[in-house]
Amino acid sequence: MKTITMCTGKLHRVRVTQARLDYEGSITLDPLLMDAAGIMPYQLVHINNMSNAVHWETYAIPGIPNSGEVCLNGCPARLFQPGDEVIILSLEQMTREEAKGLLPKVILVDKYNRVKSS
């Protein structure tokens, strides 16, 4: 069965809180943000930096609950800096029929990365 890739969740304009070169890779996210956007641990996500137009793909790992944490680990720590606003997209494969009923979760946050609306 053929599938297409659809955006199922979006964290809109979250702020990077840390960038750690000394880590093997990934993005660490507050689990409350992950849950709000429907992002599973170790799911592939796309990250777009509003400051410099960098696009990065990596997997999400849960950080400290209710911390607002958005930490780029490893290589992308050179491209994303604390304070940068980013858009994080979660994608899933589904059939065209399944996609017809899709309602992506779009999550807006305050300046501390706390969910304001979804």
Provide the residue count of the chain. Answer: 118
Quote the DSSP letter at residue 33: H
Sign of CA dihedral 62, 30, 102, 45: negative
For the question of residue 117 being annotated catalytic, the response is: no
Is 118 an annotated catalytic residue? no
Widest Cα–Cα separation across the chain: 43
Residues 23, 42, 59, 118: which is the catalytic one?
59
Tokens of 103: 């309602």
Catalytic residue among 23, 26, 67, 118: 26
Active site positions, annotated? 26, 59
